């Protein structure tokens, strides 16, 4: 069965550079979540989208932006990268968040970003 695909799996960037992480949800899933997990830390919710619109916003820095496209894939854009942005970034997808139906979310394998 198709799962959530994240690309790239690993990314190394220098300080002040820009990075774009991509997430391809499970087919027919209309909701995407982004999480950041720093070394030794809990996963932190960043932002979520339902039907291409932002639905909830968490602890996402102003230097980051995200969007969900017409094919439901999502991209997390990170600018002016800092050393502290080094983390594992997870994306998850689910179905029907906006309809008040809460179904389980399926996670991708994550993108490990290292800022040097």
- The contact set with another protein (CB under 8 A) reads 4, 33, 35, 42-43, 45, 48, 55-56, 58-59, 90, 92, 97, 102-110
Q: Name 90's bridge partners.
A: 35
Q: How many helices (H) and strands (E) does the chain have?
A: 0, 11
| Helix or strand holding residue 34 (H, E) | strand 31-37
Q: Shortest Cβ distance from residue 59 to another protein (Å)?
A: 7
Kindly tell me which of 25 and 110 has the beta carbon lying closer to another protein. 110
Kindly tell me which of 79 and 107 has the beta carbon lying closer to another protein. 107
Kindly tell me which of 35 and 72 has the beta carbon lying closer to another protein. 35
Give the Cα separation of 4 and 104 in Å (integer).
13
């Amino acid at each position: 069965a198709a799962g959530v695909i994240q690309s790239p799996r690993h990314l190394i960037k220098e300080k002040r550079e820009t990075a774009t992480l991509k997430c391809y949800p499970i087919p027919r899933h209309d909701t995407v979540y982004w999480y950041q997990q720093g070394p030794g830390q809990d996963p932190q919710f960043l932002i979520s989208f339902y039907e291409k619109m932002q639905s909830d916003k968490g602890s996402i820095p102003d230097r980051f932006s995200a969007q969900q496209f017409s094919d439901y894939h999502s991209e997390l854009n990170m600018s002016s990268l800092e050393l502290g942005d080094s983390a594992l970034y997870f994306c998850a997808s689910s179905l029907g968040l906006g309809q008040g139906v809460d179904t389980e979310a399926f996670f991708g394998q994550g993108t490990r970003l290292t800022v040097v």
